[in-house]
Amino acid sequence: PRRIGALAQSIDLAPTILAQAAGVPTLAWSGSGVAVSFEACKGVIPDDVYRRACVHSVEDAVESCGRIGYPVMLKASWGGGGKGIRKVHSDDEVRAVFKQIQGEVPGSPIFAMKLAPASRHLEVQLLADNHGNVASLFTRDCSVQRRHQKIIEEGPAVAASQETLRDMERCARALASSVGYSGAATVEYLYCIETGKYYFLELNPRLQVEHPVTEGITGVNIPACQLLIGMGVPLQRIPFIRSIYGADPKGSDLFDIESTPQRLPDTHVIAVRITSENAGDGFK
């Protein structure tokens, strides 16, 4: 069984299955229609549900990709940083790369997902406490990447309308609430420029490298909030969080986070990563 507490290892499949149950939009993939709520499975996704979302052989992958419609991304669920992921345009390409994916991330489940062309990589920063409260700290745009690694990160996102961005945040909060999440997390989406629609990509149940972008636009010290959440402090009593909801930072009154409007960012932040990509050639 795939325990929800192990999402960092199985970072794509389990959250996508739960996202579909929570009503979050998803791209066509090998697990389309496979859904189970956190409440129904009590935190453990049954093996049969998990297996229905995966591809288990070359021919299984070919059938799934044909049903989804090329181009398709084949990905090892446990992969990261560009490992175990390939874009395929035909049955022959699937047969050529399937074994490579298995070899790069041995033992990992593999799934297929429709490629979203002309899309942006947008994400929502979340903070959730132990009392059922979830706050979204606006959005980031991490579309500029090289070898599947983020190079330029900026916030708040401007590629989509404010209405769409707020809906992304709403869905991200709903997903975190549906699994009883606590701590810092990021819900990542693909936003298709041509259609104006967005789709769930993955849930990162941790603090991400690009968190200073969010801190720059909100003034929220996310690691400090994590410590306070771990101590059992409700979000409404954390001064950083109170500030973005227009409440007195020194106050302690509880308010409904979901229905209280936030103070929108008046700052834009851009962060650039310097990567020592080629260690064998002077760290070019």
Catalytic status, residue 273: no
- Dig out the tokens for 10 from the structure: 């199985």
Q: How many CA atoms lie within 13 A of 35 on its CB side?
A: 14
Neighbour order of strands in the sheet with 85-88: 85-88, 72-76, 110-114
Q: Radius of gyration (Cα) for the chain, nearest Å?
A: 19
Dihedral of CA 109/112/113/118: which sign? positive
Q: 3-class SS at 48?
A: helix
For tokens 């834009």, what's the residue? Answer: 268
Stretch (H or E) spanning 92: helix 91-104
Q: How far apart are CA 158 and CA 132, in angstroms?
A: 29
Stretch (H or E) spanning 21: helix 13-21
Q: 3-class SS at 53?
A: coil
Of residues 22, 18, 25, the one with CA closest to residue 53: 18
Catalytic residue among 86, 170, 206, 237: 206
Stretch (H or E) spanning 136: strand 134-146
Of residues 143, 138, 116, the one with CA closest to residue 126: 138
Would you please indicate which residues are annotated as catalytic (active-site) residues?
206
